[in-house]
């Protein structure tokens, strides 16, 4: 049996097996958004938690965590979607909050504004010093 390591501050009722798909967590958000925003004041406190997330941030922002931090700073409570357990592809799991944010951005090719919708999923790490970013992508 593989031992699962909980890497998030929230640790109630973790999954007992990996690969079980999404396991929703009721009663969220799990983390105080003001605390998350305070942590990402230092973009170096953002840890890209999965290979998929690393690729997403590379594609969107050329791996610039300052731009990810700016997205998180722009979040409001009304942007919250739900909470769920997320795996890092190894033996670690984190209880994450998911948010959706819509922003007006100028399209470089046309110079025209367009509404862009981002989805972010993150947790505060067990020590309280990192934000574990699980997902950062455009709407699909």
Q: Is 1 part of a structural domain of the chain?
A: no
- Per-residue pLDDT, 17: 76
pLDDT at residue 112, as a whole number: 85
Assign 3-class secondary structure to the chain.
CCCCEECECCCCCCCCCCCCCCEECCCCCCCCHHHHHHHCCCHHHEEECCHHHHHHHHHHHCCCHHHHHHHHHCCCHHHEEEEEEEECCCCEEEEEEEEEEEEEEECCCCCCEEEEEEEEEEEEECCCCCEEEEEEEECC
pLDDT at site 69 = 96
The reported pLDDT for the residue numbered 117 is 94
Residue 121 lies in a domain: yes
Per-residue pLDDT of the chain (140 residues; tens, 9 = 90+): 567 899 999 999 888 777 767 789 999 899 999 999 999 999 999 999 889 999 999 999 998 999 999 999 999 999 999 999 998 877 789 999 999 999 988 877 888 888 999 999 999 999 999 999 999 999 76
The answer to whether the beta carbons of residues 123 and 95 sit under 8 Å apart is yes
Domain that holds residue 78: 31-138
CATH number at residue 132: 3.30.2310.40
Count of domains forming the chain: 1
Q: What is the pLDDT of residue 16?
A: 78
pLDDT of residue 2: 67
């Amino acid at each position: 049996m593989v031992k699962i390591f909980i890497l998030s501050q929230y640790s109630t009722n973790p999954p007992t097996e990996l690969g079980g798909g999404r396991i929703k967590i009721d009663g969220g958000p799990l983390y105080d958004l003001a605390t998350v925003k305070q942590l990402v004041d230092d973009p170096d406190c953002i840890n890209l938690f999965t290979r998929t997330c690393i690729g997403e941030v590379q594609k969107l922002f050329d791996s610039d965590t300052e731009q990810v931090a700016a997205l998180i700073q722009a979040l409001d409570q009304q942007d919250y979607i739900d909470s769920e357990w997320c795996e890092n592809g190894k033996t670690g799991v984190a209880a994450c909050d998911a948010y959706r944010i819509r922003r007006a951005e100028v399209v470089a090719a046309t110079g025209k504004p367009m509404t862009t919708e981002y989805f972010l999923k993150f947790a505060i790490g067990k020590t309280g010093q990192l934000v574990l970013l699980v997902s950062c992508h455009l709407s699909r």
